[in-house]
Amino acid sequence: MGEENHEIVVREFDRKKDLLGVEDVERRCEVGPSGKLSLFTDLLGDPICRVRNSPAFIMLVAEMSEQKEIVGMIRGCIKTATCGKKLSRNAKNNKELIKPVPVYTKVAYILGLRVSPSHRRRLGIGLKLVLRMEEWFRENGAEYSYLATENDNLASVKLFTDKCGYSKFRTPSILVNPVFAHRVRVSDQVTVIQLCPSDAEILYRRRFSTTEFFPRDIDSVLNNKLSLGTFLAVPRGTYTTESFPGSDRFLADPCESWAVMSIWNCKDVFTLEVRGASLAKRTLAKTTRIVDRAFPWLQVPSVPELFKPFGLHFLYGIGGEGTRAVKFVKALCGYAHNLAKARGCGVVAAEVSSREPLRFGIPHWKKLSCAEDLWCIKRLGEDYSDGSVGDWTKSPPGLSIFVDPREF
């Protein structure tokens, strides 16, 4: 596929020809919230790896036709996900049972739009990349397209909302916590159980399948090699890993309070690097690490080495029920921190709805986090979802969203 318009050709990424050019653009493009410490990505030699785990994916590049210079790129993927719910009525034992069931639609996701700093705001490179990507989405049956961008990235917001017809849709929060040199204490009133993928799938489908953006192929996510496991927190003395009866029996008679969380290994997909920090900040960070390593029992909130490439673990599928669910989420986050420490990660991150009640159990540093990310959405065509909810772009937000780790 390819499209020529005067000086710019938009075509599919060719690893043999384009790898060096794409890496060069990636290095020169700043990623992360404006006005904060800058985050730069390193795709570990595989620019398409961030979408490769999705059911359908593509990467496009923009090339100067005469110079054969890569000046921009974009990635996209397509999946089937929940866009709402409807009530289902079933008769059982002479009684009518009413329960919510998910309504699915085919939705596409745009990520990794980059334009070389030397070619921005001229030639319409970003617009050409987005329009060609949407063309591929339509060709593959996507009914909606969405993307995430920083709320204060005015150039990006203007491109998508003013020129491409997207509307502002959801404003989740990205919560990032550093991994300290010491292990975090996990409450001894909580037992953490690792679920097998089949039990994790049952739990998610039974409890969270009507959550917005829940992927219908959740089994593929949970069985992916990048998934480090799903963990269930229950009151101490309720179950052990050996005595856990399975998700079917657990959900038939659940604990008064419980929480669940899965962990995705972004470290094997990309690394991050904080740039722009002053010498004073670097020195202070180093000092906190030295103290933390020397006196781990003090639980010093040390700053890890973020000024060279580091990896992260992404926490997803966060949910729970009961009056102590927030406390149990905090215990799971502590468990995840310790796992990240053992695996050499610099930070752990989660993305949740700004209205999510369980977000108060997720430790994070404000300086590293983004209080209001922006998701924009566009309807690409008629909605052929199973049991249509109408125009999804006009639907009110719920309390929760399910953030697919393949798209983080």
Name 176's bridge partners.
Answer: 349
pTM for the whole structure: 0.90
Q: Could you tell me if 255 and 234 are in contact, meaning their C-beta atoms sit under 8 angstroms apart?
A: yes
Q: Look at phi and psi of residue 169 and say left if phi exceeds 0, alpha if psi is from -120 to 50, else beta.
A: alpha
pLDDT at 40: 53
Position 67 scores a pLDDT of 77
pLDDT at 277: 78
C-alpha 37/C-alpha 7 separation (Å) is 35
The residue assigned the tokens 């509307």 is 167
Q: What is the pLDDT of residue 3?
A: 47
**Length in residues, the chain:** 408
Determine how many CB atoms are found less than 10 A away from the CB of residue 268. 13
Q: Which pLDDT score, from 0 to 100, does residue 73 have? A: 94
Question: What pLDDT was estimated at residue 45?
Answer: 63
Q: Can you tell me the distance from the alpha carbon of 210 to that of 205, in angstroms, rounded to the nearest whole number? A: 8
289: CB partners within 8 A, 6+ apart: 181, 302, 303, 304, 305
pLDDT of residue 31: 59
CB-based burial, 300-326: b 16+ in 10 Å, e otherwise = bebbbebbebbbbbbbbbbbbbbebbb
Chain CA centroid to CA 206, Å: 22
Q: Which domains does the chain have, with CATH numbers?
A: 2-171+374-397 (3.40.630.30), 175-361 (3.40.630)
Residue 157, SS3 per DSSP: helix
CB 26 within 8 A of CB 74: no
Give me the amino acid identity at 98: I
Beta bridge partners of 316: 262
Residue the block writes with tokens 């909606």? 144
Intervals of the chain under pLDDT 50: 2-5, 34-38, 384-386
Give the count of beta carbons closer than 10 Å to the beta carbon of residue 38.
16
- What SS3 state is found at 382? coil
Q: Over the range 196-213, which residues count as b (16 or more CB within 10 Å of their CB) and which as e?
A: ebebbbbbbbebbbbbbb
Residue 87: strand, helix, or coil: strand
